[in-house]
Amino acid sequence: MYYRCVSFCFFIFLWATTAVLRAQEWGSPFDFPILLSGNFGELRSDHFHAGIDFKTQNVEGKPVHAVLEGYVARVVVSPWGYGNALYLNHPNGATTVYGHLQRFAAAIADYVKERQYEQESFSVDLTLEPELFPVKKGQAIALSGNTGSSGGPHLHFEIRNTETGMLFDPLECYKEEVKDTRPPRIDAVKVYPLEGRGVVNGSSRSVEINVSDPKKAAVKIEAWGEIALAVKAYDYMDGTINIYGVRRVAMAADDRMIFNSQIRSFSPSETRYVNSFIDYEAWKLRRVFYMKTFVDPGNKVGFIEHEGRGIVNIDEERTYRITFRLRDLYGNTAQHTLLIEGKRRDIPAPDTEGEYFHWKSENRFGAKGVRLVIPAGNLYDDVYFRYSVQPAGVAALSDIHVLHDRPIPIHDKALLSLHLPTDAPADAGKYGIVRIQNKRAIWIGGSYKNKWIEAAIRDFGSYTIMQDVRPPVITPVSPAAWVGDKRIAFRISDDLSGVQTYRGEIDGRFALFEFDGKKGLVTYRFDRKRLAQGEHLLEFTVTDACGNRSEYKHSFIW
């Protein structure tokens, strides 16, 4: 029986949303021809891409227009994520999101600045009443930028269902504006024997086939028992050199469709299931995205249809035809057929060394100096959990606890407790759990109680305890030019637990310093409304996640 992960209600919602969206004449956010640098549902680290990215001709400062009539419902300012972002609600039940903006339109910018001074914070998340900032279709609402976690100038754009938050592919509304005659391309296929239930080429190891190279694509594949497959592929568009995510991936076994993934819409709560949708180990170790054409038991993403989880059972000595079919929004297609010879082989017993964790259950593990609790529903598949320990490094205050011998994703979080083998610290807040990755310490933090430190983690890996007693570093940027440029700037950094808060004051009153997280740059721009001419005292402080504090003072005349 062909199993549909997507509920009937979802199909009704999608049909209704599509009908509404297509009934509108959506305006362009720009007054120049649009090209994309990223499409909907692309595979990203820990999430599916929630919108489309419009190119801005490699520069910032392009006017951004409201695509429909509506009102500004939410404004977010953050050094991370979408940076400066606007959320507009529209009469048709849709919300549009505009991210990584350089600056807002003047009236909105003035309002936001007032709220920042009221809250004494650069980062704000403001919910607005409909009558405050109504907008007309085509009205300029902002300038494009590169704020937040953006990797270059562009506009991140989303369409959401206002009531449910469901994300919808905006390209369906701009299909006629973007030219695409180029098909997706399949680069490689991966074949996995299910441990203890199948073999590939006489082994329990997976096999990768480079199908973009005709010579390598001709490699012989023999299998027996239950196998699963994955595909590495990208999409392309006219007029760009970018690569994009593949909208639809289907797989048939002997012309019987057993897997179909089509990313048209998804809920924000589903986005972390990307770690089950992909070969997580290949991504973590090699930064390669393989899309599985089979479904883990704990993967609840709503846009996949499958039969028997997409598992292929090789139980006859004959040739099996496995066909992958890829399709983009414009109907451009790619296809590849993989021939697998059924060859009877003995199937090795699975490796059951370690602690058995069931994907659906709460799982607990304990050993000397370590406790781990994984709440139910946080694993995507069963695993025999393997633990080891390594001696503490130079800066570590406990043994290094290695949680499993290969990367395994945790959907939400697990609780890790590590024992601190010393007397109770005078300042427990300076101790925290860190993850050791590529010889680098990544601060996790946690809370101290009776020689144990507990923290939430989202990955298996190597963990230990460290202490952070070093304060952040404040570096003035061209202080001799501050008065002339009417601009004060610092670079701020911290070597372990990270910058937690910062605050600027002039003459004892809050001064708004904007924070560019990518550059670690904070900037105050002289404001005649709040800064009179004369002599002033600047005080700037930075605190890290362990409470270590640095301070900078400077007198200046303006």
pLDDT at 24: 64
532's tokens: 């009179």
Tell me the whole-structure pTM to 2 decimals.
0.93
Intervals of the chain under pLDDT 50? 1-16, 19
Sign of CA dihedral 289, 291, 295, 301: positive
pLDDT tens by residue, 220-251: 899 999 999 999 999 999 999 999 999 999 99
Domains parsed from the chain with CATH numbers:
3-173 (2.70.70.10), 185-342 (no CATH), 355-467 (2.60.220.30), 473-557 (2.60.40.1220)
Name which of 234, 236, 206 is nearest 221 in CA terms: 206
pLDDT at 424: 62
pLDDT at 22: 56
pLDDT at 220: 85
pLDDT at 9: 36
pLDDT at 17: 53
pLDDT at 11: 42
Q: How many CB atoms lie within 10 A of CB 196?
A: 15
How many whole angstroms separate alpha carbon 42 and alpha carbon 50? 8
Going by C-beta distance under 8 Å and a sequence separation of 6 or more, which residues neighbour residue 424?
450, 451
pLDDT at 428: 84
Name which of 333, 337, 326, 194 is nearest 261 in CA terms: 326
What CA dihedral angle connects 166, 271, 178 and 105, to 10 degrees?
Answer: 70
pLDDT at 403: 98
Burial letters 64-95, b for 16+ CB under 10 A, else e: bbbbbbbbbbebbbbbeebbbbbbbbbeeebb
Print the SS3 string covering 400-429. EEEECCCCCEEEEEEEEEEECCCCCCCCHH
pLDDT at 15: 44
370's tokens: 């370590």
Name which of 69, 177, 87 is nearest 125 in CA terms: 87
